[in-house]
């Protein structure tokens, strides 16, 4: 396994190399910030999101203190302001001391204080950090917690024992301050296959509740235990304020971000009719790895939870917290019913299904996004076996690496003992060809003319894509084939090309802001302009060349400028404006005709249809072969059991019975193979049983 010292050296080399080749992050510090955000969000679940911001003020006055910020995010659903200080040291490793942490924390807190004052009022309104600071000022009464992050390529000194900071008070309002430090050792550990984040333990007494009364449900299963409980609203509010991002499954986070977190009806009941809250509210659904119970006078009380997760009811919980903060509401006397499932073996499929069905009433759902859905597994499989065409002078044929689950890219390298092995791995799987589930969603939604979805970023955009994908999967899963995969990579290559072109434009260089939105909108507008001519972008050709033809550059630059003028025309927050479909309608309405040189290399819808049809046919054949193999591998006993349960529950027709008997004979090798129609009818029966909960 790679040592910490070797990891650090290669980590810094990779960051420097990425900065040298990536116009999006031309400075090593920028790349380090993006890497740190990813680790904090995906490995440690300490944040739901964080956006790069920069402001440095070192000429403090009596009115305004020195300040420095490298990233931040105003997470209104959790009433939290996240602020980051980044310490990128490419030289010899140094110790991070208490003094260093206190000084840098003070700079972050000063940024918050200066935002509450009028420091940024006269600054350039289109600057992203200025808008961020003004949002903080405008939403100050919704903030209860400052979560500070210090990230560094240095190592935390062993002398640093406690990272607790005192509460901060400004204008008679007190804010809780939390500090987390991500040092090089924390980054190193997050890449290991053995990595597990610290389990979240909630002791009820720490949140003003001696115990939560509950009854155990007799569900007669060894897979899980179930409890029904009555939870004080104040307890939910307090644990949410302290641990919001760690408490929420990804799908709940996406739903809250999209819907603002606070439900007006719930808030009104809290403020005006709280005695009826329990009756009006549907309650919450939760899971946990473990609980502690105490019996008092024959009543069971939950006294602690290990890894509590709110999988349905996030909006109820967020609204309780927000109303207690913004309206200073008294939550005493408010109680919420809770269904709690203790998963004995932390079965991820069971947890995911609970989250899926518990959230079935929500428009946006399942946003760890079911990374084990067959679609993502299929994309992963393609990405491990379909090599990209070699470029001129390229020695090693390379793969585009889809990281379906956290750590898939880094963990193999962490187990390699020599630099030569790691270099060979990176030559075959270069980091710039790695992409994640949220990246995939970004490319596809931009190409499908949904830039306002892309502008929501990360989980919310991925949730939109996921729901659209599910509809297509149910309609025809063969649509997702090798041709689809190659066009997906073509979209990724074009997306990066648009980033590069926009980064080099003078109008962008003057402000250097809102590039993710500019890229998404430019991509979508380019697609729409081609559609207006009944033409299509040939992503297959981009895959074949592994590059974007130069004819695209002029049009991308021109369309980018149109988008730039549109989004900067708003008088409000540009980031918020870009999330609205109204913004896309305005951009779409702007006249633009694609140049003749680009028209010549676009293709017709009929050309695309020919490629899609041929690839779908091949995929259907491959799927049928795989289905037959899967059926055989399950064996005759499995299918006989399925048939017996289907008959007992009266969901199997005479034809279904015949279909399953053919499958049983096939598994016993009484038939050499299943015919096309036998397989088709067998799969229909299997789906029917599955829909009835028999599998």
pLDDT of residue 245: 74
Q: Where are the domains of the chain?
A: 4-191, 201-358, 374-603, 609-691
Residue given tokens 């030289």 in the structure block? 91
Nearest-angstrom CA–CA distance, 345 and 222? 10
How do residues 165-220 score in pLDDT, each as one tens digit?
889 999 888 999 999 999 999 999 999 988 887 888 999 999 999 999 999 988 76
17-to-10, 29, 578 alpha-carbon distances in Å = 10, 12, 32
How do residues 455-512 score in pLDDT, each as one tens digit?
998 888 998 999 899 999 989 888 999 999 999 999 999 999 999 999 999 999 888 8
Side-chain half-sphere CA neighbours of 17 within 13 A: 10
DSSP-derived 3-state class of residue 197: coil
- Lowest model confidence (mean pLDDT) among 525-534, 595-604, 614-623: 614-623
Residues, the chain: 695
Q: What is the DSSP string of 148-190?
A: EEEEESSEE-TT--------EEETTEEEEEEEEEE-HHHHHHH
Nearest-angstrom CA–CA distance, 428 and 499? 24
pLDDT category of residue 259 using cuts at 50, 70 and 90: low
Q: What is the DSSP string of 40-65?
A: IIIIS---S--EEEEEEE----SSS-
Nearest-angstrom CA–CA distance, 406 and 387? 22
Nearest-angstrom CA–CA distance, 655 and 164? 68
Nearest-angstrom CA–CA distance, 328 and 348? 39
Q: What is the DSSP string of 553-589?
A: HHHHHHHHHHHHHHHHT-SS-HHHHHTSHHHHHHHHH
Q: What is the DSSP letter of 415?
A: T
471-to-152, 252, 547, 622 alpha-carbon distances in Å = 43, 21, 31, 21
Give 518 or 677, the one with higher predicted confidence: 518
- Whether the Cβ atoms of residue 551 and residue 615 lie closer than 8 Å to each other: no
User: Which residues make Cβ contacts (< 8 Å) with residue 368, sequence separation at least 6?
Assistant: 249, 250, 251, 352
Alpha helices (H) in 289-371, listed in sequence order: 314-326, 348-358
Nearest-angstrom CA–CA distance, 228 and 337? 7
Both tokens of residue 500?
């590069």
DSSP-derived 3-state class of residue 26: coil
Q: In this prediction, what percent of the chain has a pLDDT beyond 70?
A: 93
Residue given tokens 């599998």 in the structure block? 695
How do residues 90-126 score in pLDDT, each as one tens digit?
999 999 999 999 999 999 999 999 999 989 988 888 8
Other CB atoms closer than 10 Å to residue 254's CB: what's the count?
A: 29
* 548: nearest Cα among 485, 495, 484: 495
Nearest-angstrom CA–CA distance, 694 and 683? 14
How do residues 215-247 score in pLDDT, each as one tens digit?
998 876 777 889 999 999 999 999 998 887 788
Q: State the pTM of this model.
A: 0.78
Average pLDDT taken over every residue of the chain: 88
- Lowest model confidence (mean pLDDT) among 285-294, 437-446, 648-657: 648-657
Alpha helices (H) in 273-385, listed in sequence order: 277-280, 314-326, 348-358, 374-385
Would you say the C-alpha torsion 464, 470, 476, 482 has a positive or negative sign? positive
* 214: nearest Cα among 318, 126, 293: 293
Residue 363 has pLDDT above 50, yes or no: no
Over the range 99-126, which residues count as b (16 or more CB within 10 Å of their CB) and which as e?
Answer: ebbeebbbbbbbbbbbbeeebbeeeeee
DSSP-derived 3-state class of residue 312: strand
Both tokens of residue 364?
């946006």
pLDDT category of residue 368 using cuts at 50, 70 and 90: very low
pLDDT of residue 244: 79
Nearest-angstrom CA–CA distance, 266 and 236? 14
How do residues 28-41 score in pLDDT, each as one tens digit?
999 999 999 999 98
pLDDT of residue 252: 63
Residue given tokens 């116009």 in the structure block? 23
DSSP-derived 3-state class of residue 75: strand
Q: Is 315 exposed, middle or buried (0-12, 13-18, 19+ CB in 10 A)?
A: buried
Q: Which of 18-22, 146-150, 295-299: highest mean pLDDT?
A: 146-150
Average pLDDT in the 530-542 region? Answer: 96
Give 624 or 35, the one with higher predicted confidence: 35
- Whether the Cβ atoms of residue 322 and residue 142 lie closer than 8 Å to each other: yes
């Amino acid at each position: 396994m790679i040592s910490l010292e070797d990891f650090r050296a290669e980590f810094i080399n990779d960051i420097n190399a990425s900065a040298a080749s990536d116009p999006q992050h031309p400075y090593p510090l920028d790349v380090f910030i993006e890497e740190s955000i990813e680790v904090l969000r995906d490995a440690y679940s300490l944040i739901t999101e964080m956006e790069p911001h920069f402001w440095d003020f070192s000429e403090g006055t009596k009115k305004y203190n020195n300040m420095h910020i490298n990233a931040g995010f105003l997470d209104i659903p959790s009433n939290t302001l996240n602020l980051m200080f980044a310490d990128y040291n490419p030289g010899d490793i140094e110790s991070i001391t208490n003094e260093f942490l206190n000084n840098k924390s003070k700079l972050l807190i000063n940024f918050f204080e200066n935002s509450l004052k009028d420091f940024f009022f006269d600054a350039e309104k289109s600057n992203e950090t200025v808008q961020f600071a003004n949002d903080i000022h405008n939403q100050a009464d919704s903030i209860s917690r400052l979560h500070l992050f210090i990230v560094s390529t240095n190592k935390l000194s062993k002398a640093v024992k406690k990272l607790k900071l005192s509460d901060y008070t400004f204008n008679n309002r007190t804010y809780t301050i939390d500090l987390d430090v991500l040092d090089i050792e924390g980054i190193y550990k997050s890449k290991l296959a053995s990595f597990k984040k610290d389990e979240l333990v909630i002791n009820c007494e720490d949140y003003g509740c001696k115990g939560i009364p509950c009854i155990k449900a007799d569900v007669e299963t060894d897979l899980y235990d179930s409890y029904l409980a009555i939870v004080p609203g104040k307890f939910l509010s307090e644990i949410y304020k302290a641990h919001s991002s760690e408490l929420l499954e990804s799908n709940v986070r996406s739903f809250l971000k999209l819907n603002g977190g606070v439900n007006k009806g719930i808030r009104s009941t809290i403020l005006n009719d709280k005695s009826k809250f329990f009756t009006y509210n549907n309650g919450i659904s939760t899971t946990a790895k473990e609980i502690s119970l105490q019996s008092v006078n024959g009543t069971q009380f939950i006294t602690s939870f290990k890894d509590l997760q709110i999988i349905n009811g996030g909006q109820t919980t967020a609204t309780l917290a927000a109303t207690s903060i913004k309206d200073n509401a008294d939550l005493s006397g408010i109680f919420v019913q809770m269904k709690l499932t203790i998963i004995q073996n932390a079965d991820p499929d069971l947890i995911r299904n609970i989250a899926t069905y518990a959230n079935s009433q929500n428009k946006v759902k399942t946003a760890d996004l079911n990374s084990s859905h067959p679609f993502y597994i299929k994309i992963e499989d393609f990405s491990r076996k379909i090599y990209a065409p070699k470029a001129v002078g390229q020695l090693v044929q390379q793969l585009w690496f889809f990281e379906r689950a956290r750590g898939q890219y880094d963990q193999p390298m962490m187990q390699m003992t020599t630099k030569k092995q790691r270099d060979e791995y990176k030559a075959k799987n270069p980091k710039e060809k790695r992409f994640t589930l949220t990246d995939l969603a970004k490319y596809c939604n931009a190409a499908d003319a949904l830039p306002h979805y892309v502008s929501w970023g990360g989980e919310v955009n991925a949730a939109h894509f996921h729901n659209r994908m599910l509809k297509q999967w149910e309609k025809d899963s063969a649509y997702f084939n090798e041709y689809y995969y190659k066009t997906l990579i073509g979209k990724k290559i074009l997306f990066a090309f648009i980033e590069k072109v926009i980064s080099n434009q003078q109008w962008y260089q003057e402000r250097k802001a809102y590039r993710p939105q500019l890229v998404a909108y430019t991509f979508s507008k380019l697609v729409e302009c081609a559609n207006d001519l009944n033409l299509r972008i040939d992503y297959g050709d981009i895959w074949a060349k592994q590059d974007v033809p130069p004819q695209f550059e002029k049009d991308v630059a021109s369309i980018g400028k149109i988008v730039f003028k549109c989004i900067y025309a708003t008088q409000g927050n540009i980031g918020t404006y870009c999330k609205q479909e109204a913004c896309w309608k305005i951009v779409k309405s702007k006249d633009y005709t694609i140049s003749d040189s680009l028209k010549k290399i676009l293709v017709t819808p009929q050309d695309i249809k020919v490629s899609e049809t041929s690839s779908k046919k091949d995929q259907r054949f491959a799927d049928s072969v795989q289905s037959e193999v899967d059926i055989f591998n399950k064996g005759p006993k499995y299918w006989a059991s399925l048939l017996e349960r289907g008959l007992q529950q009266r969901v199997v027709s005479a034809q279904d019975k015949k279909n399953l008997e053919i499958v049983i004979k096939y598994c016993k090798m009484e038939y050499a193979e299943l015919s096309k129609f036998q397989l088709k009818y067998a799969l229909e029966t299997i789906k029917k049983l599955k829909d009835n909960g028999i599998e």
